[in-house]
Chain A
């Protein structure tokens, strides 16, 4: 179960079966899907010599084969139909990322008057593979069924999740969180779709047998995680600079070099990134230093060239060296920008108080802290708002009203302050499933207090564990709460070995880290793939909340 590998294999299979020179035609979404797992030079080696977007005008090249890798949307099919009326390429190989209806297939067949289409296939790579165990659908603003984007994108959500099951070759039984309409809707839709396409699932296994678990969760069960500031490399980059399809823009950084304005972070081609993805800020500093030292050493060996043998060696190693040095300058630039952002907005202090709020139960102390915090002019308004949001989740019955007063006094707009109410409505105590704060029963409350007292905290900035951590633990013990309803009538009693968790509303890189640690601790026992409608960071989550607010007002 590796989503990156799955997509790569699809593309490999697609391109190696077609001999000769090829043009790869992509739509907006598949361009992202392909480029997240393949680089241009790698694809050139597969004799793909031209990339086109489907909506662009193409030149006539009858000596080339057109490989179309598209989502089966209506617009794409119309483009294909127009194209087939006046073929630009010798042969057409059409690959859809999802199931295509016979009606659409018939329309294409009707348009194919010159017999140029030589195959039509369904290759189920309809999702963006971010990490080997994490995928996303890049659909922001899908917090609940009432969100304004839900109407347009719910089909895309179902398609994406459905294709991920096929790409991983799994036929799971489905469980969903009972307290949420949204997860029930998704679970039922997926089950329907699996039923409709039964033939796709039953090649490998006998009828009715399940080999894995699909657990559909709702973001509202854990609204704390996307609000917290993160300290591991990948999460930090996403939080402060935003990773979109493995690309990070550094254009806002001061004095940045021209060729580093936009950098690519690919797990396959950047060993340093792969090794340090989950390291926290402190360890990361040490790794960066090692990396720079390594570069220095290489520089020195390169500088002292005396014999012809040395020159020969230099020439052979030069391309690698060049690659290495671009990697180093990329990561140094990233790190530089991160630490600049952290120091100008005092994120160390902010994160400390956030973590205290998320993990502690000492109300009076923290309340005083927050009051001081709101008066502090060095902290940005957004951070102040986030702190109050966290407070309102943790102490729903506390002095939220007074804090709101204070926020409006320092000039935060009433629209932003209303987010506190929106969050309460979206993810208040009564609408959450599971025990987010560890307060729902006395036993676990006592346990968490004792644990804290006895063991202490190793790093105050990373003490928070997302709810997902508890859920995974309970799955491992085969004690998942029965409030996660099952759709099928007789689910297997044993602990599932392979689990796909999908979170409606979006996931965070902190949860990706949780899944990664869980997987590396339980090799051979249990493997989890995490998916979400999008990968959230704090600003994105706030945006989604305010979109929810607008749709409520209407």
Chain B
């Protein structure tokens, strides 16, 4: 992969030409002065003014450029910003997840809380960015190339967002499954312990059950009830999670609908398509023009006919009267 940078020789050539131009300009300016009759008393000032003139010349296109900068361009930077924000947050979330999965004895509720907050923040940003992108091409007082440009930008940003959301989802899923695994194993330990304790209890059951003042039946009932309650609670929670999932799914589907199908993802082809439609437009315009002309001539004939008929009528009426 050999390349050759011709910029230095280009710049050299350009500076040569520019020097040539400058000389030319100086000559003009001096001529102007001579014409107005002011003697070149302050040659220093003359130089400065020339510089200003030159700079003004340079600044002119720049000013124009700032005026030209369309409003929607700010929106792209907004989108870019929130995209980078999302990816930062996702990275942060991943580290939180890793931390939380480490076995720790202390209080992890703080960490959990921050995980929750970050997750919510990310989801919110996703929605916001999606809205931004979707609204991006809405204001439609722009033409041809700009529209194409915006469409392309939109497609590429959507693609980025999609990749991010897939990544985010994957992180979340792996975290949840890891968490679930851990809880399961905890429960197992708990159960085992409990079984052991019960074994232990069996030996001196007779001595101590009475000391609590409850019968075994009552205790069993209470146990059953608490179990039922926890079960129901769990179910409700699960339902909640499922509903939330469902709503996010629907949002995903709406993102998907924005994805373009990649059947003809070919640059040359698209370029040719544009050319083809331009040619088609031209022929359509020509047709329109022809129709228009025909219409005009027809209108003329019609007018003449109407004139004839009315005049015939008039003559006829006149004939009858006289």
Interface residues, chain A, with chain B CB atoms under 8 Å away:
6, 9-10, 13, 21, 23, 26, 31-32, 34-35, 38-41, 43-45, 47, 49-53, 56, 58-64, 87, 90, 96, 99-100, 102, 105-106, 108-110, 112-115, 117-124, 166-167, 169, 200, 203, 245-247, 259, 262, 264, 269, 308, 311-312, 315-316, 318-319, 322-323, 326
- Interface flags for B1-31 (1: CB within 8 Å of A; 0: not) read 1111111011001101100010000000000
- Other-chain residue from A49, A90, A105, A269 in contact with B10 (beta carbon distance below 8 A): A105
Closest to A318 in B: B256
- Other-chain residue from A59, A112, A262 in contact with B144 (beta carbon distance below 8 A): A59
Residues of A within 8 A of B16 (CB): 109
Question: A113-B21, A121-B5 known; A108 and B249 CB under 8 Å?
Answer: no
Residues of A within 8 A of B162 (CB): 319
Residue B267 at the chain A interface, CB threshold 8 Å: yes
Q: How far is the CA of A321 from the CA of B261 in the complex (A)?
A: 11
A-B contact pairs, 15 of them (CB 8 A): A10-B1, A26-B267, A39-B265, A53-B275, A60-B68, A63-B65, A102-B9, A105-B9, A105-B10, A120-B5, A121-B4, A121-B6, A169-B2, A308-B249, A326-B262
Question: A45-B156, A102-B9, A105-B9 known; A262 and B269 CB under 8 Å?
Answer: yes
A50 touches B69 (CB 8 A): no
Question: A45-B156, A62-B69 known; A38 and B4 CB under 8 Å?
Answer: no
A124 touches B3 (CB 8 A): yes
Question: A109-B10, A315-B252 known; A63 and B73 CB under 8 Å?
Answer: yes
B266 touches A247 (CB 8 A): yes
A40 touches B270 (CB 8 A): yes
Question: A50-B148, A312-B249 known; A122 and B271 CB under 8 Å?
Answer: no
Residues of B within 8 A of A264 (CB): 264-266, 269
Closest to B160 in A: A45
Question: A100-B6, A318-B256 known; A105 and B13 CB under 8 Å?
Answer: yes
Residue B225 at the chain A interface, CB threshold 8 Å: no
Q: How far is the CA of A167 from the CA of B3 in the complex (A)?
A: 8
Question: A169-B1, A319-B256 known; A44 and B10 CB under 8 Å?
Answer: no
* Ranked 8 nearest A-B pairs via Cβ: A44-B156, A109-B13, A35-B268, A109-B14, A166-B2, A122-B4, A35-B267, A59-B145
A167 touches B1 (CB 8 A): yes
B3 touches A13 (CB 8 A): yes
Q: Other CB < 8 Å A-B pairs besides A52-B145, A109-B10, A246-B266, 8 of them?
A: A35-B268, A45-B156, A105-B6, A114-B61, A117-B10, A166-B2, A169-B1, A315-B253
Residue B153 at the chain A interface, CB threshold 8 Å: yes
- Other-chain residue from A41, A114, A118 in contact with B159 (beta carbon distance below 8 A): A41
Return B244 CB to nearest CB of chain A, in Å: 10
Closest to B70 in A: A63
A49 touches B4 (CB 8 A): no
Question: A315-B252, A318-B256 known; A63 and B2 CB under 8 Å?
Answer: no
- Interface flags for B237-248 (1: CB within 8 Å of A; 0: not) read 000001001100
A322 touches B261 (CB 8 A): yes
Question: A109-B13, A109-B14 known; A49 and B2 CB under 8 Å?
Answer: no
Give the contacts of B263-299 with A (CB-CB under 8 A): 263-271, 275
A316 touches B169 (CB 8 A): yes
Residues of A within 8 A of B159 (CB): 41, 44-45
Residue B166 at the chain A interface, CB threshold 8 Å: yes
- Other-chain residue from B152, B173, B266, B275 in contact with A50 (beta carbon distance below 8 A): B152
Residue B45 at the chain A interface, CB threshold 8 Å: no
Closest to B278 in A: A56
Return A51 CB to nearest CB of chain B, in Å: 6
Residue B64 at the chain A interface, CB threshold 8 Å: yes
Give the contacts of B28-82 with A (CB-CB under 8 A): 58, 61, 64-65, 68-70, 73, 76
Residues of B within 8 A of A110 (CB): 17
Return B237 CB to nearest CB of chain A, in Å: 14
- Other-chain residue from A49, A112, A203, A269 in contact with B14 (beta carbon distance below 8 A): A112
Q: How far is the CA of A425 from the CA of B149 in the complex (A)?
A: 55
B262 touches A59 (CB 8 A): no
Interface residues, chain B, with chain A CB atoms under 8 Å away:
1-7, 9-10, 13-14, 16-17, 21, 58, 61, 64-65, 68-70, 73, 76, 143-146, 148-149, 152-153, 155-156, 159-160, 162, 166, 169, 173, 242, 245-246, 249, 252-253, 256, 259-271, 275
Return B30 CB to nearest CB of chain A, in Å: 21
Closest to B166 in A: A316
- Other-chain residue from A52, A59, A308 in contact with B146 (beta carbon distance below 8 A): A59
Return B261 CB to nearest CB of chain A, in Å: 7
Question: A90-B65, A106-B13 known; A40 and B242 CB under 8 Å?
Answer: no
Q: How far is the CA of A102 from the CA of B246 in the complex (A)?
A: 65
Return B291 CB to nearest CB of chain A, in Å: 27
- Other-chain residue from A6, A245, A308 in contact with B246 (beta carbon distance below 8 A): A308
Residues of B within 8 A of A32 (CB): 268
Closest to A106 in B: B13
Return B246 CB to nearest CB of chain A, in Å: 6
- Other-chain residue from A59, A122, A326 in contact with B3 (beta carbon distance below 8 A): A122
B271 touches A61 (CB 8 A): no
Residues of A within 8 A of B261 (CB): 322, 326
Q: How far is the CA of A247 from the CA of B264 in the complex (A)?
A: 10
Closest to B253 in A: A315
Residues of B within 8 A of A166 (CB): 2
A108 touches B10 (CB 8 A): yes
Q: How far is the CA of A259 from the CA of B68 in the complex (A)?
A: 39
Residues of A within 8 A of B144 (CB): 59
Residues of B within 8 A of A123 (CB): 3
Q: How far is the CA of A319 from the CA of B159 in the complex (A)?
A: 11
A51 touches B271 (CB 8 A): yes
Looking at A23, A99, A315, the one whose CB has the most chain B CB atoms below 10 A away is A315
Residues of B within 8 A of A59 (CB): 143-146
Return A126 CB to nearest CB of chain B, in Å: 12
Residues of B within 8 A of A319 (CB): 162, 256, 259
- Other-chain residue from B2, B155, B173, B263 in contact with A259 (beta carbon distance below 8 A): B263
- Other-chain residue from B7, B146, B262, B266 in contact with A61 (beta carbon distance below 8 A): B146
Question: A49-B156, A112-B14, A315-B252 known; A121 and B265 CB under 8 Å?
Answer: no
Return B158 CB to nearest CB of chain A, in Å: 10
B145 touches A121 (CB 8 A): no
Closest to B61 in A: A114
Q: How far is the CA of A337 from the CA of B90 in the complex (A)?
A: 48
A262 touches B10 (CB 8 A): no
Return B172 CB to nearest CB of chain A, in Å: 10
Return A426 CB to nearest CB of chain B, in Å: 33
Residues of A within 8 A of B256 (CB): 315, 318-319
Looking at B146, B169, B268, the one whose CB has the most chain A CB atoms below 10 A away is B268
Residues of B within 8 A of A26 (CB): 267, 271
Return B196 CB to nearest CB of chain A, in Å: 35
Q: How far is the CA of A318 from the CA of B268 in the complex (A)?
A: 27
Residues of A within 8 A of B143 (CB): 59
Question: A102-B9, A114-B61, A308-B249 known; A326 and B263 CB under 8 Å?
Answer: yes
Looking at B61, B143, B263, B270, the one whose CB has the most chain A CB atoms below 10 A away is B263
B266 touches A200 (CB 8 A): no
Closest to B15 in A: A109
Question: A49-B152, A167-B1 known; A38 and B267 CB under 8 Å?
Answer: yes
A9 touches B1 (CB 8 A): yes
Closest to B163 in A: A45
A120 touches B7 (CB 8 A): yes
Q: How far is the CA of A61 from the CA of B1 in the complex (A)?
A: 32
Residues of B within 8 A of A99 (CB): 4
B269 touches A35 (CB 8 A): yes
Residues of A within 8 A of B264 (CB): 259, 262, 264
Closest to B73 in A: A63
